[in-house]
Chain A
């Protein structure tokens, strides 16, 4: 390993989810304080790995997203009291991250209802930031270009999927894929999120659902600390089953056979005469044909039709996890 790597970390800072996470009724309660200390240790080890490694930390807060820390803009940071027992760069970073989170959470307290966290904002900011550092290094001088090699994004998620952000999340995933940015996801609390599963799958990252949440640091160090170039030598856990089914636009139901507008590709669970997204009217003929073919679906499924069924058919239970 001789290339420096860049890590953009996205912290999901939803106060209500963290409150639930800390509840003693969980098998392994994880309060935010413990979480933060694990994460900071992980970030320190990322920096300690190599002097050139760069780091950016983004926070997804309810209704807004901010950059908490970036190793390239560190000048002019706050005063940190000297401590003979701590390595100064670590201390500096830890205090900047902690201070910024604290300041943001304090701002939140005045708010009433908690809007969903701005994960999309944090994700797109991380992408723009990576674009900026890769762009400037390739422009200024060739020997600097190693600094931004191997960029990756790690999302520490506690919130559930937000179905309204489906399209922006997918757009972000595709741009990450296009720029060869790996998205790793660690689900620290809550049910699996289908969008982030797809993000990890499509960008070649790994998605990990914590079993022992009190061992967060170990998961982070073992799975997410090695840069992408090292991954081929290590067996980093990857999820196997990916739910590629879609949610219909009309009811957000999960469908395995849907009706799709050829103009805008909106998905509907039943044949509709007019597309609700682009207002296109569909020909009567098609509607009749589709309506006629619909009842045949279950019977076609039941009859053998002379086609041998692949033996692996019942391998995957149809779990409807997309909301």
Chain B
């Protein structure tokens, strides 16, 4: 029950991209892992200055227990997330991401347990699962850097199972040799060159080495990435390198150096929520025409029952009973979302679209209630889970926290408890009082 792991799991469903707010990130840092990276610790980099030691702020309560303090700390961390402006930003919903993994010998370093490589694989799998949960219409490909070349590990796919499968065979990914950033980025770039303009192109690099062996000038590669609007984000496991930071800064991505296991996970999981679309109105002269916006033709399939007679599918050419029918050409497809192999129509099921709607219609933040003086007769129980509210206010709480543990919806004026406040905003995305 350490605060670090808890805030990780709460990163799911976060609506707001926190940008470079390192202070908010530092809450997820796991105290006991700090020593591991002592060698990289000289107060030279900005990210170290902002690193607040969350365990120093914990105070024991009267009974000598940390339980209350830990809970309060967690609640505060969650609360802070909710307080970020919930402005209606347009988000890129159709995303394409290449996960670029360093498979050089530097990944066998044991400064992260068990090794950088094993930890990266583990987090990559969790990342993929969560990424597809929040970006159901996205596609992910995997490229490795090993032996001086880029290696295609998993083709661009919209099916999490395919991507996870490509990451599941550890022995095929055994690190060796030197990495080449340029080769790998070029490979990732070429596999995204055919994509339509309304989708995002992103590269996430996990880089453990301190060197890169490139056949040419990597700045040429950087220039072409900028031209093709590819956003590069990089998480370094060793230390900051100038070229790495430049790749991210110039393409609008995020750069971070992982200080320990928990921080590493925070860094990559921060890239899961759909990014806000960059303000393009300025570029086109103030009009509302968004060059990244487009109208797409999509087909909604019919799902065949498991008891249907087996038929050949167009994707694997195998006889299978269940599947989906392309509404335009009638081809049978095993899984959605996908592009129809026969007529090229993008096929999605309506739940796939609906999964993204909560990013567009977020629940308004609840208002913390700290005194009941104005209300004629306050409710005794949380409107959602019926838990009784505490009658006595607790002292000394951070801004935005209610001393009564009471949060009121601005629309339906019902009161909710702390747990439900977080649960409604992070998971359900629907206010139980106003039903929207």
Output the residue of B90, B199, B289, B428 with the most chain A CB within 10 A.
B428
CB contacts (< 8 Å) of B94 on chain A: these are 262
Closest to A240 in B: B305
B40 beta carbon closer than 8 Å to chain A: no
Q: Which of A8-65 contact B (CB under 8 A)?
A: 65
Output the residue of A165, A265, A301 with the most chain B CB within 10 A.
A265
A240 to chain B, nearest CB (A): 3
* A178 in contact with B427 given A121-B435, A263-B293 (CB within 8 Å): yes
Closest to B421 in A: A128
Output the residue of B296, B354, B355 with the most chain A CB within 10 A.
B354
Interface residue from A124, A166, A278 paired with B354 (Cβ < 8 Å):
A166
B302 and A167 form a contact (CB under 8 A): no
A300 and B295 form a contact (CB under 8 A): no
* A311 in contact with B311 given A70-B386, A167-B436, A283-B289 (CB within 8 Å): yes
B299 beta carbon closer than 8 Å to chain A: yes
A29 to chain B, nearest CB (A): 31
Alpha-carbon distance A307/B314, docked complex (angstroms): 10
CB contacts (< 8 Å) of A178 on chain B: these are 12, 133, 427
A310 and B330 form a contact (CB under 8 A): yes
A271 and B298 form a contact (CB under 8 A): no
Q: Which of B300-342 contact A (CB under 8 A)?
A: 300-314, 324-325, 327-332, 336, 342
B330 and A301 form a contact (CB under 8 A): yes
A310 and B297 form a contact (CB under 8 A): no
CB contacts (< 8 Å) of A243 on chain B: these are 302-303
Type the 1/0 row for B370-387, where 1 means its CB is closer than 8 Å to any CB of A: 000000000000111111
Alpha-carbon distance A157/B417, docked complex (angstroms): 29
Interface residue from A125, A165, A257, A277 paired with B298 (Cβ < 8 Å):
A257
A297 and B328 form a contact (CB under 8 A): yes
Alpha-carbon distance A170/B355, docked complex (angstroms): 7
* A245 in contact with B293 given A131-B419, A135-B419 (CB within 8 Å): no
A287 to chain B, nearest CB (A): 7
* A259 in contact with B297 given A124-B430, A198-B351, A301-B328 (CB within 8 Å): yes
CB contacts (< 8 Å) of A67 on chain B: these are 386
Interface residue from B12, B361, B384 paired with A129 (Cβ < 8 Å):
B384
B385 and A132 form a contact (CB under 8 A): yes
B152 beta carbon closer than 8 Å to chain A: no
B357 and A170 form a contact (CB under 8 A): yes
Q: Which of B1-45 contact A (CB under 8 A)?
A: 1, 12
CB contacts (< 8 Å) of A168 on chain B: these are 430, 435-436
A315 and B308 form a contact (CB under 8 A): yes
A264 beta carbon closer than 8 Å to chain B: yes
* A262 in contact with B93 given A128-B423, A244-B302 (CB within 8 Å): yes
CB contacts (< 8 Å) of B324 on chain A: these are 244
Closest to A307 in B: B342
A124 to chain B, nearest CB (A): 4
A282 and B353 form a contact (CB under 8 A): no
A246 beta carbon closer than 8 Å to chain B: yes
Alpha-carbon distance A65/B303, docked complex (angstroms): 33
Q: Which of B251-299 contact A (CB under 8 A)?
A: 277, 287-299
B385 and A125 form a contact (CB under 8 A): yes
B420 and A171 form a contact (CB under 8 A): no
Q: Which of B338-358 contact A (CB under 8 A)?
A: 342-343, 345, 349-351, 353-358
A118 beta carbon closer than 8 Å to chain B: yes
A260 beta carbon closer than 8 Å to chain B: yes
B272 to chain A, nearest CB (A): 14
A70 to chain B, nearest CB (A): 7
* A278 in contact with B90 given A128-B423, A257-B327, A265-B353 (CB within 8 Å): yes
A309 beta carbon closer than 8 Å to chain B: yes
CB contacts (< 8 Å) of A244 on chain B: these are 300-303, 324, 336, 349-351
Interface residue from B297, B313, B330, B419 paired with A313 (Cβ < 8 Å):
B330
* A315 in contact with B309 given A128-B420, A265-B93, A287-B295 (CB within 8 Å): yes
CB contacts (< 8 Å) of B119 on chain A: these are none
* A271 in contact with B312 given A170-B357, A178-B12 (CB within 8 Å): no
A218 beta carbon closer than 8 Å to chain B: no
B49 beta carbon closer than 8 Å to chain A: no
B302 and A318 form a contact (CB under 8 A): yes
* A290 in contact with B297 given A128-B424, A240-B307 (CB within 8 Å): yes
B304 and A316 form a contact (CB under 8 A): yes
B290 and A305 form a contact (CB under 8 A): no
CB contacts (< 8 Å) of A255 on chain B: these are 300
Type the 1/0 row for A300-323, where 1 means its CB is closer than 8 Å to any CB of B: 110001010111110110100000
B385 and A128 form a contact (CB under 8 A): yes
B90 and A256 form a contact (CB under 8 A): no
Interface residue from A70, A259, A262 paired with B293 (Cβ < 8 Å):
A262
CB contacts (< 8 Å) of B331 on chain A: these are 307, 310
* A262 in contact with B428 given A121-B433, A167-B357 (CB within 8 Å): no
A179 and B290 form a contact (CB under 8 A): no
A174 beta carbon closer than 8 Å to chain B: yes
CB contacts (< 8 Å) of A172 on chain B: these are 428, 430
Alpha-carbon distance A127/B386, docked complex (angstroms): 12
Q: Which of A219-261 contact B (CB under 8 A)?
A: 240-246, 255-261
B432 beta carbon closer than 8 Å to chain A: yes
Alpha-carbon distance A151/B350, docked complex (angstroms): 26
B65 to chain A, nearest CB (A): 12
B300 and A246 form a contact (CB under 8 A): yes
Q: Which of B389-418 contact A (CB under 8 A)?
A: 417
CB contacts (< 8 Å) of A4 on chain B: these are none
A181 to chain B, nearest CB (A): 11
B332 and A175 form a contact (CB under 8 A): no
B310 to chain A, nearest CB (A): 8
CB contacts (< 8 Å) of A279 on chain B: these are 288
CB contacts (< 8 Å) of B1 on chain A: these are 139
- 21 A-B interface contacts by CB (under 8 A): A67-B386, A73-B386, A120-B436, A131-B385, A170-B354, A171-B358, A241-B305, A244-B351, A245-B301, A246-B353, A257-B299, A260-B353, A264-B93, A265-B137, A265-B353, A271-B295, A300-B343, A310-B330, A310-B332, A312-B304, A316-B302
6 pairs of A and B residues whose beta carbons are closest in the complex = A240-B305, A128-B384, A246-B350, A256-B327, A170-B354, A244-B349
Known: A125-B384, A262-B198, A310-B325. 9 other contacts (CB 8 A): A128-B382, A171-B428, A174-B354, A178-B133, A245-B327, A256-B301, A265-B93, A265-B360, A310-B311
